[in-house]
Amino acid sequence: MKKRMNCNVNENQNRYATKQPGKTEVDPFWLAEDIKNVVMWFVNKKEYDGYLITILGLLLGRRISDIIMFKWSDFYFKNGSKRDSIALCELKTGKNVDVPLSQVVFDSIDQYCEWNGTIRKHVYDNYIFNVDFKTEWIERKDNLIYKENDLEKWIEHFSKDFSEKRKQSILNSFEKQKENGYQELGQYLYWVVEYNDINKWQTDKYRKLLVQAAVDSGIKYRVSTHTLRKTFGKWIMDENPYDPNCIYSVQRLLAHSSMEYTLRYIGMTKEKDAKYVHEHGNVISSILNGNTEILKTNSPVVTLKNEDLRQILMFVIQSKGKNEIDLFNAAMTMVDRLRLIN
């Protein structure tokens, strides 16, 4: 039986982003038609792996590096029954995340199996998006070569054709992360160098397809694999605008360290910034056109659920005859207690 990586190992807890801020920033899907058009692009091209990767990214909010490592057993028990959630250890961060599985996930998997003729009970322990060298990598985790902690021996053992520049880059990167990361070179070679090399072609292939799907769909903003993860968070927030607890759920599902980072990541901070800047532009334009009295007091807006508003109104109606000031203060106290936070 093929071994799955142990989510509790220290080796999986420190992966360092190589992206520079501002250079690889991408957007979520802003429009519903953009989502539909991109998904249908994969269907029409009969790129069924790409179809399911896209759907799982939109529904589960996982990184592409985690999605391509999914097994059938992550979604189903051995008897074929469906799991309620998927528990995984993020390959990039080592964080443990438990994500609920909606029926749409299983409907999409069924469609995928119908298209490519997969019989799940025959492939239970296999990867959904399987490639031979990925399986070989997982199975060689305990190879003694990694205990040698010797770059040259590792290169010779696996017949790597690395330039001196690449070798030095590996050693420099290892030393750079050593303080808070991997202490042994062998583990760094396995969990970082080999992982990145093995996954590169599969992620690159999907990324190119996704970008082409976006271009063919007429999308003008920047789209890449993180678009799916950002869409997951942003659309959950948009679907629950009056739920003050929604942001905490999204933060937890994305395994982010702060609410502020989540809002920035899913594009809501960007959306707010754009709104403020455009409104400010309108103010300046009005001033230049001679309107110098355009600023207005920003009175707070209070949002209440229908049933909570009904409760307050019934309280006021049933309290006729009481001191009006006391009644007003009591009603405002109820508003403050029951209001939703925007």
Task: Find how far residue 338's CA is from the centre of its chain.
Answer: 32
One-letter identity of residue 4: R
Q: Which pLDDT belongs to residue 297?
A: 54
Its CATH architecture, for the domain 10-137+197-240, is Orthogonal Bundle (1.10)
For residue 299, the model assigns a pLDDT of: 59
Residue 3 phi/psi, 5-degree rounding, is -90, 140
Q: Residue 228's closest CA among 247, 246, 209?
A: 209
CA atoms of 289 and 287, how far apart (whole Å): 5
Grouping H, G, I as helix, E, B as strand and the rest as coil, residue 98 is: strand
- CA-to-CA separations, 298 to 61, 177, 292, 295, 335, in angstroms, rounded: 36, 48, 17, 9, 19
Q: Give average pLDDT by consecutive 10-residue segment, the chain, 342 residues.
A: 42 41 77 97 96 97 92 93 92 86 96 90 82 80 94 95 94 88 92 83 92 98 96 94 82 91 90 86 84 65 80 80 73 74 53
| Per-residue model confidence (pLDDT) at position 178 | 86
What's the confidence (pLDDT) of residue 134? 74
pLDDT for position 211:
97
Listed in sequence order, the DSSP H helices in the chain are 32-44, 48-60, 64-67, 103-116, 132-139, 151-157, 164-177, 185-188, 195-216, 225-239, 246-253, 259-265, 268-288, 306-318, 324-338
DSSP string, 295-342: --------B--HHHHHHHHHHHHHTTTS-HHHHHHHHHHHHHHHPBP-
Q: How far apart are CA 294 and CA 285, in angstroms?
A: 11
* Per-domain boundaries in the chain: 10-137+197-240, 306-338
